[in-house]
Amino acid sequence: MTIQRSSPGQSPPEGATNSRFEVIKSIEGFVGDHIETLLKPVHESWQPSDYLPNMSRPDWVEEVSEFRRRAVSLSDEVLVVLVGDMVTEEALPTYQSWLNRLPGVADPTGSSDTPWARWGRGWTAEENRHGDLLNRYLYLTGRVDMRAVEVTIHHLINRGFDPRTNNDPYLGFIYTSFQERATKISHRNVGTLAMRAGDEVLQKICGLIAGDEARHEKAYKLFMKKIFEVDPAEAVRAFATMMRRKIVMPAILMRDATDENLFLHFSRIAQRLGVYTAQDYAEIIDDLVRHWEIPTLPGLTGVAAKAQDYLSDLADRYRALAERVVPGGPVKFSWVHGRQVG
Ligand SMILES: [Fe+2]
Ligand SMILES: [Fe+2]
């Protein structure tokens, strides 16, 4: 395959360059070939109602009571991480708009039949169930202040999110590869905490969502692997650029009625409970570096070779820096009726 290159001696600027756009278009067939296994058909997919009390049954009251009984032993800390994860999922409109800004990936009509457009809508449709299920779970348990949670979601969608990917599909897929893995880790760990608290329904719910995230992680890593094959020098540069910029979590701009630092406060609880930690950040870098076989990519020179060196031992540097002690004392969370948590 031939790829348009900028003239010799002129390094292409970071951002959605023509050559990157061409590569994205050129692997469309590859995406189409894999889409059936990377997304689940609707008739095989779980739906939120499968794991919630059936309100149309005559014994719905008993079902709801049983549901609530199981959730009684969840601590405020666990509720805070669960709400934070749910709020993150609920800002899906922001993420779909972001995906639709990536050149070559965007859905030009809103119902286009191109593989990238089908991927974007299919991914969104799967993700849409995550926020729905967690939201309804939390509402029915009666354990959190739903209005405060809804205010947070409202603020977060209002404020948006900039992952600093500059509408560049390479940076974008490095971001999503990282992020889907991070989300998988987080949901899985909340599931373990739910199991310890004796709520096996919540454990199951977190496991289902983590399973979807694992499939999405596999997909984005596969797309990026293909890009590494076709355009290794630019792909490795993009990977290094994204790592230097750091992966910002999608709910970074969350706030409630009063707490401007809500994301920081939530992420400290997540770190303290071991739900998502600085150590996890290092492990994700390590996984991506291995998966894309960065240290052994052949034939890189100049800036690309420097990027390869930078990435090859990056995880170890992060591991050494990962703080074991999380700063900050207890903070009041509106989500749990203003109680101190931490
Ligand atoms: Fe999700
Ligand atoms: Fe996901």
Q: Could you tell me the pTM of the whole model?
A: 0.93
pLDDT band at 326 (very low <50, low <70, confident <90, very high): confident
Decide if 265 contacts 328 (C-beta within 8 A).
Answer: yes
- Which of the residues are catalytic? 46, 89, 127, 130, 180, 183, 212-213, 216
Is 61 a residue whose pLDDT tops 90?
yes
Q: Dihedral angle at the C-alpha atoms of 120, 124, 127, 129, nearest 10 degrees?
A: -150
**Would you state the pLDDT for residue 288?**
98
Q: Report the range of poorest mean pLDDT among 185-194, 231-240, 320-329.
A: 320-329
Short-list 86, 74, 137, 79, CA closest to 254: 86
Please give the Cα distance from 37 to 235 (Å, whole number): 25
Å from CA of 128 to ligand 2 middle: 10
Joined together, the tokens standing for residue 100 give 């639709």
pLDDT confidence bin for 156, thresholds 50/70/90: very high
pLDDT band at residue 322 under the 50/70/90 scheme: confident
33: Cβ contacts below 8 Å, ≥ 6 apart: none
Considering the chain, what percentage of its residues have pLDDT values greater than 90?
Answer: 92
Helices (H) and strands (E) in the chain, counts: 14, 2
* Cβ atoms 177, 20 nearer than 8 A: no
Point out the ligand nearest to the CA of residue 214. 2
Q: Is the pLDDT of residue 11 over 50?
A: no
As a whole number of angstroms, the distance between CA 194 and CA 192 comes to 5
Smallest CA-to-CA distance from 146 within 310, 337, 320 is with 337
Which ligand approaches the C-alpha of residue 130 most closely? 1
The fraction of the chain above a pLDDT of 70, given in percent, is 95
The whole-number average pLDDT for the span 9-31 is 75
124 alpha carbon – ligand 1 mean position (Å): 9
Q: Torsion-angle region of residue 14: left (phi > 0), alpha (psi -120 to 50) or beta? A: beta
* Mean pLDDT score of the chain: 94
Q: What is the average pLDDT across 270-288?
A: 97
Determine the distance separating the centroid of ligand 1 and the alpha carbon of 127, expressed in angstroms: 5
